[in-house]
Amino acid sequence: MPYRTITTALVDRRGTSVLDAAIERARYWTAHLDACCLAEEDIDPGLGLYGTAVLVRPAETAQDRVDALASATRARLAREDVAWTIRTQVALAEGASRAFTKTARYADLAVLPAPLGPDATTWDSAIFDAALFDAHLPVLVPRGDAAPDYRRVMVAWNGSAVAMAAIRAALLVLSDAEAVTLVVSEPKNGTEGLFERAQEAATFLSRHGIHAEVDTLSGSMPSIARDLVASAKSLGAGLVVMGAYGHSRLRERLIGGVTREMLDRAPVDLLVAH
């Protein structure tokens, strides 16, 4: 399925760093870019008897910020050769994620910053989760804002339903690629029958006119994610496709997991689906 609508979220305090990446990917796929500009209400829970009167001012300030963000975004997009729409929303982080869910439902792909890492905020995590789990939308996490190069694509394969969901979500980019490699990404004690299921996934892709090679991880790294990173570099991949959160989100965020580590370590663009 073509990516006809790409959505992204711009948060006032993060600036528009992800906007350039979203523009490049909208141009790459000749897609409409739907930019959702968000600002956070600064509500002090200890306002006391005068809380109602004082609450008006932060909301106005947040509205000023989102208007300024929308204005800057509009000026930036006006210089580009992509179709675009701008939406604005002022809310707490939870409310903003609900608002973004409504926008994301009508898109084919979300381009969002990684929800982890030193620069990530609670908003990034809430919006990422809203796109992936509430809007059921594939999410592309870009590494840099240069024009994408998806001629070589690596698929992280572990035989799971979410891995297959990611393959379906990425059919467009896989069909355009010159080389597609399915990399078996389970520990050695869990690989029984996995290579055969990877071959079945390759057969599925062949029926869409996509030739895919099947390879296995070296197992030389201390974690699956580090093995995947090494494989992506070895293959010269410009994109890694993988299912997100095969375990629960809470478990992965508390004790770690492949999704969490790849969101933090992937050296190239990462396309995830659940």
For residues 156 and 228, is the Cβ–Cβ distance under 8 A?
yes
Long-range contacts of 175-179 (CB under 8 A, 24+ apart): 175/208, 175/209, 175/210, 176/150, 177/150, 177/151, 177/152, 177/153, 177/210, 178/151, 178/152, 179/151, 179/152, 179/153, 179/213, 179/235
Rounded to whole angstroms, the Cα distance separating 133 from 166 reads 13
- Which helix (H) or strand (E) segment holds residue 74: the answer is helix 51-77
**91 by DSSP, 3-state: which?**
strand
Domains of the chain in sequence order: 5-141 (3.40.50.620), 152-273 (3.40.50.620)
Q: What is the pLDDT of residues 202-227, one digit of tens each?
A: 999 999 999 999 998 877 777 889 99
Residue 246 has pLDDT above 70, yes or no: no
Q: What is the pLDDT of residues 89-132, one digit of tens each?
A: 888 766 778 889 988 999 999 999 998 877 788 888 889 999 99
- What pTM does this model have? 0.88
Of 18, 40, 9, the closest CA to residue 144 belongs to 18
Question: In 10 A of CB 47, how many CB atoms?
Answer: 13
Of 128, 70, 75, 127, the closest CA to residue 97 belongs to 127
**160 by DSSP, 3-state: which?**
coil
Rounded to whole angstroms, the Cα distance separating 191 from 211 reads 23
Q: How confident is the model at residue 49 (pLDDT cuts 50, 70, 90)?
A: very low
